[in-house]
A and B are shown apart, each in its own frame.
Chain A
Amino acid sequence: MKTNNNTCGGLYTEKVMKTFKNPHNYGKIKNADGIGKVGNVNCGDVMQLYIKITKNKKGEEVIKDIKFETFGCVAAISTSSIITDLAKGKTIKEALKITKDNVIKSLGGLPSIKYHCSVLAVDALVEAIYDYFLKNNHKISADIQKKHDNIEKSKEIIEKRYKNWA
């Protein structure tokens, strides 16, 4: 595809547009160890993250592979791609420390109206890890449980909305 420097009227940084043009790690992981499905009630964007976990030499759980599927705008696709870059190869402990500000910074900034896309990406990662914990009878900390409960609420509304598509 030919290059184009349009940043949507300065709405997006060049890094956002570059990431949108060539997103990393999109698609499904068959037999994923954890799947995180999230949606934003207001704008209607939907994001799904798939993770594959292995253990490193120290016995820590590491995100060996990560992929995304996203229905959404330029910002949503870019934050999805960036979160996979940020989380890939990290231990779960490290991955859970990734914040929306890390995502925004990695994209060289986001317009404030699109901040929710970075929240969506972080939520999707938390959900994928929560799903992995659940499937493997891991102990779930109160902090993650609380995050999950909040995400779950908006997910129900979104799932209802897209039930004909899924």
Chain B
Amino acid sequence: MKKIYLDNAATTPIDKIVLEAMKPYFSEKYGNTMSLHSFGQEAKLAVEKSRAILASMINAKPNEIIFTSSATESNNAALKGVVFNKKSGHIVISSIEHPCVIESAKWLEKQGFEITKLPVDKFGMVNPNDVKKSIKENTILVSVMHASNEIGTIQPIEEIGKICRNAGVYFHTDASQSFGKELIDVNKMNIDLLTASSHKIYGPKGVGLLYIRNGIKIEPLLHGGGQENGMRGSTINVAGIVGFAKAAEICKKEMKKENKRLITLRSKLIKEVLKIKNSRLNGHPAKRLANNANLSFDFIEGESLLMQLDMEGIACSTGSACSSFKLEPSHVLLALGLKPEQAHGSLRVSLGRWTTKKDIERIIKVLPKIIKKIRAISPFK
């Protein structure tokens, strides 16, 4: 049985071209970027070249990019870093942010900062007017993600950025799911801080970046040996960064063609799956990531669905309470206005570079059978 991976929003395999680009930086070009000798400078050169490539992805300057270990770290650094040098103030986030933003905000609330969580509409969209209304005299930062990891909805960040700019408030966006997949221009979109991650775009795990607009001061989370202009202490992950840049380069080159291909496959999937009775699409019908389909099926529970699919060799994800370790359904689906039992029966299918038409045809064929089987066991029909 061929295994089919449809969980690319969780992580992606490393592209073989990326892996080849990384290989020399493990045991040949292994220098520490902080060393002044040729070994160090060779590594330093590779990192700076990568920094320039990644900066160009979002129309930023190379010195506005710092490397981190993950999107989680970047988001933590953005929120805590911006507000740390102030004793009090107000932070605005959306209610559908990734847990690393929500939990950072919660922690800051405990430290005395004020938090506003913006609602979303039934498609998971933040209303820019709500952002405008939420900004107060003491507001320091607004953080709204570019695209949702769960439902794929793409936010009107250009409008939100403009509102923040006019109000003199910093605007951060978590672009973990959109970087390399959607066009981003930090100047056009008035973005002050941006998070991106390598392993979502066929690069290695353990590498992220934070864009910080020149002139913005943030307090570092990690104090150390002066790396990243003193913004983040830690020996530089050279191979990882080289891989991240190579992965981004490929994405940029393929973006237009790849999105078109993915949308065709994804639309076919949604169209066919919605023929199943009592099913629905979560997220925005049009303004969504090309590779994301989030579907709900009444009367069944997501973990059962996930594991039945896995037995058929198909890997997906769910927002069900049962699959989480908190026994609560996805906060994103609840924010859309879904009832807990509907969030219970959700399935996220996220396509990737190597998803084929055959793969999609297979899940279209298997899904109705599995749902029928689980519904046969369910007391609700």
Q: Chain A interface (Cβ within 8 Å of chain B)?
A: 1-4, 6, 8, 17, 20-21, 23, 26-27, 37, 42-48, 68-77, 113, 161-162, 165-166
Contact = CB atoms under 8 A, between A and B. Distances in A.
A44 B377 contact: no
Interface in B144-185: none
Given A20-B304, A45-B322, A73-B322, A2 B379 contact: no
A44 B327 CA distance: 9
A69 B304 CA distance: 14
Contacts of B298: 165
Nearest to B320: A73
Interface in B295-337: 298-301, 303-304, 307, 310-313, 320-323, 325, 327, 329
Interface of B: 1, 298-301, 303-304, 307, 310-313, 320-323, 325, 327, 329, 339-341, 344, 376-380
Given A161-B339, A165-B299, A43 B310 contact: no
A163 to B, nearest CB: 11
B339 A48 contact: no
Given A2-B1, A113-B327, A161-B340, A72 B376 contact: no
A73 B304 contact: yes
Given A26-B376, A73-B323, A45 B301 contact: yes
A72 B299 CA distance: 9
A71 B321 contact: no
A69 B320 contact: no
Given A27-B376, A72-B301, A161 B341 contact: yes
Contacts, number: 83
A165 B304 contact: no
A162 B380 contact: yes
Given A44-B340, A161-B340, A162-B341, A69 B325 contact: no
A4 B311 contact: yes
A69 B377 contact: yes
17 contacts: A2-B1, A2-B311, A4-B313, A8-B307, A17-B307, A44-B341, A44-B344, A46-B379, A47-B379, A69-B378, A72-B322, A73-B323, A74-B303, A74-B322, A113-B327, A162-B341, A165-B299
Contact of B311 (A1, A70, A76, A161): A1
Contact of A69 (B1, B313, B379): B379
B328 to A, nearest CB: 8
Contact of A6 (B310, B321, B340): B310
Contacts of A8: 307
Contact of A4 (B299, B310, B321, B329): B310
Contacts of A21: 311
Contacts of B341: 44, 161-162, 165
B300 A71 contact: yes
A3 B1 CA distance: 10
B377 A26 contact: yes
A166 B380 contact: yes
Contact of B380 (A4, A71, A75): A71
Nearest to B325: A113
Contact of A42 (B299, B301, B327): B327
Contacts of B300: 71
Given A1-B311, A44-B340, 5 more contacts: A8-B307, A37-B379, A71-B301, A72-B322, A162-B380
A77 B377 CA distance: 8
The residue among B1, B304, B310 with the most chain A CB atoms within 10 A of its own CB is B304
Most buried by B among A69, A75, A162, A165: A165
Nearest to B303: A73
B311 A71 contact: no
Nearest to A113: B325
B310 A70 contact: no
Contacts of B304: 20, 72-74, 77
A114 to B, nearest CB: 8
Query: B310, B378, B379 — which one has the most chain A CB atoms within 10 A of its CB?
Result: B379
A75 B300 CA distance: 14
A37 B379 CA distance: 10
A43 B323 CA distance: 10
A75 B304 CA distance: 9
A130 B182 CA distance: 59
B339 to A, nearest CB: 7
Contacts of A70: 377-379
Nearest to B380: A165
Given A161-B340, A162-B341, A71 B325 contact: no
A51 B134 CA distance: 57
Nearest to A4: B311
Nearest to A158: B341
Contacts of B301: 45, 71-73, 76
